[in-house]
Structure formats: structure tokens, C-alpha cells
Structure 1
Amino acid sequence: MTTIDQRDSLLPLGDHRLFTRSWAPSGPEASRLAPILLFHDSLGCIELWRSFPEKLAAATGRRVIAYDRLGFGRSDPHPERLGVGFVADEAESVVPHLCGQLGITDFVACGHSVGGAMAIETAARWPQRCQALVTIAAQTLIEDRTLAGIRVAQGDFQDAGNLARLARYHGDKTAWVLDAWIGTWLSPAFADWTLDRPLAGVRCPVLAVHGELDEYGSTRHPQRIAEGRGEALILSGIGHVPHREAEATLVAAIENLLAAV
């Protein structure tokens, strides 16, 4: 049985701090392989990955690193309202800083939902360093289904119980987190957002995973991501969170991709 060493750290990002966690398999192999960098979704944080990172580390033999984006989870509050260019900004500014702090040269980019979009931007921005790209329930443009799902969630968060459950992970930052998702995605200024440009710049092997029943995006997204670049894996009966709804299947698919990298 593989032993996994879990470590937490707070890393400086300018005047702020990012909370990170790594899962490292025992043995020398893990230090030779490029680690997997996880990008969480719009309401996410490290804790909401649940058991997925540890199981991914054990299956692939690679170090897995997750972090709470600024404003989320245990990272410091964000000093401003989220800008409409936040997806590309994460790849441009935060990723190289994070890699420098953690001593990472090459990596595998893996993200869920908007984190998948950030993983795509990262793969395109750093083609010499990104060895593979995995997207999980990622969106590549604004669909009516995306906006409809967000509006349903907006209504759900009028319930104090739902808001309290989210606050368990984000504390006093919860209102900001909700606005960073709902306010940004429903903004007219964000209506023309697409990943057409970064998708054209992706050069590494790609696995685009999507649930058949995803309420925030159709299977058009994984097909666009994988076209000419890799595999689109559509999971029957699965919704927006494959790493919880079909964890073993997802881990096996990623393991299979990375075995050839």
C-alpha cells in the first residue's frame, strides 16, 4: 500500500498568502515525475476536493498539489472584486509564482469547472512546462445552460442553511466568493468570454472529462477541448462533480493518460 505524505503550507503572494496542500507518495519516483497541480471550481477550495487528491497521488505515483485561490478557503481575502479577466490572470500571474515557491518546473494541469478553464489557460501559457492537461466539467464559453444553472444556485443560496454550509469552507469571505461566481458569470461584461485563443495554444496531451448530466455545461465543452488534442470522456449518469460522483473512474482515466507521459 502506497504511503502518502500530506503537507500544508502558507505561501506568500505579494502582500497576501495562499494556503496549499500537497500529497506526496513515498519513494524516489515521485520526485522525478512532474507533479499534478489542481485548480478548484468557483465555490471550491482544497477541502472540497475530498479524497480525490490523495487517491490520485497513490494511483499515479506523482505528487499532487492543490491550493485555495486568493479569496477562497484558508487563503487570505481578495482585496478587490474579481475582474472579468480572472481566468487568464490565474495562469499568467499566480501559477508561475506558486511554482517558484514550491520548486516546480514541469507540471500536469488539472482543474474542475472554472478551474478547468484555468488549467487550459495554464497549458497554453506555459507549453514547455505543462506535460498534460486534464479538465473536469470545464466550460469553454457561456451557454444558456451555464447561466440557467447559476441562476438556480443563486436562488438556492437565499436559503440560510445553504449559505451556512458554504461558510464552513470560506468563513467571512463567503459573500465575496458568491459574488465572484454569480456576479461575474451573470455580468454582461463576461458574456463574450471564451477559451478559443488558449485552446489553440495547447500543445500537450489532453483528457477532457464531463458528466452527461452536468447542469452547468453541455458535452460540447469536452469535445471542443479534446478536438485534435486528446480524449473527451463523457461519464453516463454523472453531473457536475465527477471527482465525487465517479472518483474511481476519474482517477483511473487520469492514471491511464499519465502512464504515457
Structure 2
Amino acid sequence: MASQIFRWDEAGTAGQVQAGGAMLETYTVGPPPGIAPTLVLLHEGLGCTKLWRDFPRQISADTGYGVFAYSRAGYGASDPCPLPRPLDYMTREAVAVLPELLDAVGFRDGVLIGHSDGASIAAIHAGVQRDRRVRGVVLMAPHFFTETMGIDAIAQARTAYADGDLRARLGKYHAHVDAAFRGWNDAWLDPGFEQWDIRSVLDGVSVPVLCLQGESDEYGTRAQVEVVAERAPVPVTIHMIPDCRHSPHLEAPERVRADIAAFLAGLPGGATRSEPGENDA
């Protein structure tokens, strides 16, 4: 069962919540659930709450939504996780941990925003769990299948971690830095991961989707977002962002925030505030 220690802080601060058998680092800003809808931020394969930088505060100010971010087990200041990670670790996060976590923080109504691995987790959750509280999904640089160029970039990250300054840079954000890096890197470079493919989850998505991808993304091609429009039986908007690599929200923040705000405004109900109990499922 999820812990009840979580408290929402509108001013913007770190906290903790227990879910999925681990104590997880959290960050909240803006109005809590029951007052306004919530944007749930799902970080990349080497991310954590702090690596969203000022994006949570800015997107809350732009939209009037509350924002909830958390660091998955093994990342940031969250509890460590066992290694090696199973090759279906994104699916496990989406169907086992995330539902418990959303219940624990009082999520009532809102949108999932995922980046990279977090975007894949958001898509799996939308396509498999089909949580009625989720009104839309924003996928930034998602992965649905492996590509040679992406695997090559991940192999280069292994070299940078072993021989360069990547370990030192990541160590500023992750309490268990070796576990954070190896959990992601070892899984993606496992020979068995070449067969990883989650395109089928898109067939079950039942809410609108916004895809944002950098035209120069080093981890995935345009095919990763085009497959969403091909398979998801819902309205799908794709924005390719010029002069942008793998982190649109950091490399083109104003463009990304404007795209997300427009997407939210176009959802059924827009950014309407919720009365307590109104959206309980």
C-alpha cells in the first residue's frame, strides 16, 4: 500500500512518497488536485526531479495546472533499485508503480507529460491502464522500438561515463549514480533489448496525444513519433522542433511550453478547475 506521508506544496518544494515498494523523491508546484488539473512529469532514462530544471514552475505558471514530478526508484534522491533492471522496466513502471503513485498523491484529473523513457512510460500507461483521470498525453522524444542510431548514442554514453566527465555531472543529481546509469545503460545495451517493441500499446490509447521531437534528436528518428499517428485511434498532433536534439523542454522551452499550453486548452474541459469529488473514478 502507498504511504500517506505525501503533502502537496503549492510554493514548489521537494518531498517524498512511498509507492512501488520504495520511497520516492517528489516535487510539486502550483494548485493541488481538487483545485486544478495536474500535470504529471515522467523523466528521461537518466533524469530525476531536479533535472526538469525550471520547467515545472514555468509550465504551471503558463497553464494554471498544478505540477507533480517524481524520481523513479534508482534516480535522484529516491531509494535505489535492484540491478540489473528487467528489460521491460518501462512497462513495469507504467502498470505497477505509476497507478499506485497517482493514487498516493491524490491525482484526480490531468495530463501525463513524459520525456524519453518517461514518454514511453506515459504511452504504456495510457494504452494499457486507460486511467479515466488522464485526459491527454504529451510525449517528448518517446521510444517505441529500438533504432541503430539510438543504440549507438547510448553506447557512446557508456564511454563518456567510463572515460569522461558524465559520471561526475550525473553525481550532482543522483544519490546512487552508478545504479542510475547502469540501470538505464545496461538495459538498453543488452542484446535482448534489440527486440524491445511497445508499438502495440498505442492501439489502446483513448485520449488525445501531443508529440514533440527535436529534428536533430540523437536517440531517435521521426519514425518514433510518426508511429503514434499511425496506430493511436485518437487525435495526434506532431511537432518537429528545428535546431533541437533530445531535450525539447530544455533546448526550446518557450516553444514547448506554448505547444503544451495550446494542447491543454484544446482538451475537452480545457484547464477547468475541479470540485472535490467531481472527477473521482
Would the TM-score normalized by the shorter structure come out above 0.5?
yes
Paired residue for 2:110?
Answer: 107
Contact map agreement 1:208 1:226 (CA 8 A) in 2: no
Work out which of the residue numbers 16, 21, 26 in structure 2 matches 1:10.
Answer: 16
1:169-194 deviations in Å (ceiling 9; x for gaps): 113x1111111121101112211111
Paired residue for 2:272?
Answer: none
Q: Could you tell me how far apart the structure 1 residues matched to 2:75 and 2:211 are?
A: 25
Kindly tell me the number of residue pairs found equivalent between the two proteins.
Answer: 254
Contact map agreement 1:107 1:130 (CA 8 A) in 2: yes
SS where residue 244 of structure 2 aligns?
A: coil
- Counterpart of 1:253 in structure 2: which amino acid? D
Following superposition, the deviation at residue 129 of structure 1 comes to 2.5
Calculate the TM-score normalised by the size of structure 1: 0.92
Provide closer, same or farther for how the CA distance between residues 86 and 14 of structure 1 changes in structure 2, counting only shifts above 3 A.
Answer: closer
1:59-116 deviations in Å (ceiling 9; x for gaps): 1110111000001001011134211111111111111111111111333111000110
Q: Could you tell me how far apart the structure 1 residues matched to 2:129 and 2:184 are?
A: 26
Q: Could you tell me how far apart the structure 1 residues matched to 2:265 and 2:34 are?
A: 16
- Counterpart of 2:106 in structure 1: which amino acid? G
Paired residue for 1:255?
Answer: 261
Contact map agreement 1:20 1:65 (CA 8 A) in 2: yes
In the alignment, structure 2 segments of 5+ residues that lack a partner are: 1-9, 268-281
- Counterpart of 1:16 in structure 2: which amino acid? A
- Counterpart of 1:163 in structure 2: which amino acid? R
Following superposition, the deviation at residue 14 of structure 1 comes to 5.3
Contact map agreement 2:23 2:78 (CA 8 A) in 1: yes
SS where residue 178 of structure 1 aligns?
A: helix
Provide closer, same or farther for how the CA distance between residues 75 and 140 of structure 1 changes in structure 2, counting only shifts above 3 A.
Answer: same
Following superposition, the deviation at residue 16 of structure 1 comes to 2.3
Following superposition, the deviation at residue 161 of structure 1 comes to 2.5
- Counterpart of 1:120 in structure 2: which amino acid? A
Q: Could you tell me how far apart the structure 1 residues matched to 2:201 and 2:88 are?
A: 13
Tell me whether 1:63 sits opposite 2:66 in the alignment.
yes
Work out which of the residue numbers 71, 74, 85 in structure 1 matches 2:88.
Answer: 85
In the alignment, structure 1 segments of 5+ residues that lack a partner are: none
Q: Could you tell me how far apart the structure 2 residues matched to 1:181 and 1:80 are?
A: 10
Paired residue for 1:191?
Answer: 194
- In the TM superposition, 1:1-261 aligns within 5 A as 5-13=11-19, 15-25=21-31, 31-127=34-130, 128-171=132-175, 173-227=176-230, 229-261=235-267
SS where residue 19 of structure 1 aligns?
A: strand
SS where residue 122 of structure 2 aligns?
A: helix
- Counterpart of 2:26 in structure 1: which amino acid? T
- Counterpart of 1:11 in structure 2: which amino acid? V
The two structures, once aligned, show a CA RMSD in angstroms of 1.6
Contact map agreement 1:123 1:202 (CA 8 A) in 2: yes
Task: Name whichever of 8-17 and 59-68 sits farther off.
Answer: 8-17
Q: Could you tell me how far apart the structure 2 residues matched to 1:104 and 1:14 are?
A: 16
- Counterpart of 1:87 in structure 2: which amino acid? M
Q: Could you tell me how far apart the structure 1 residues matched to 2:91 and 2:21 are?
A: 21
Following superposition, the deviation at residue 32 of structure 1 comes to 4.2
Deviating 4+ runs (over 3 angstroms): 30-33, 226-229
Following superposition, the deviation at residue 49 of structure 1 comes to 0.5
SS where residue 23 of structure 2 aligns?
A: strand
Contact map agreement 1:213 1:237 (CA 8 A) in 2: yes
Contact map agreement 1:222 1:233 (CA 8 A) in 2: no
SS where residue 73 of structure 2 aligns?
A: coil
1:43-65 deviations in Å (ceiling 9; x for gaps): 10011101111111111110111
Contact map agreement 2:84 2:187 (CA 8 A) in 1: no
- Counterpart of 1:251 in structure 2: which amino acid? R
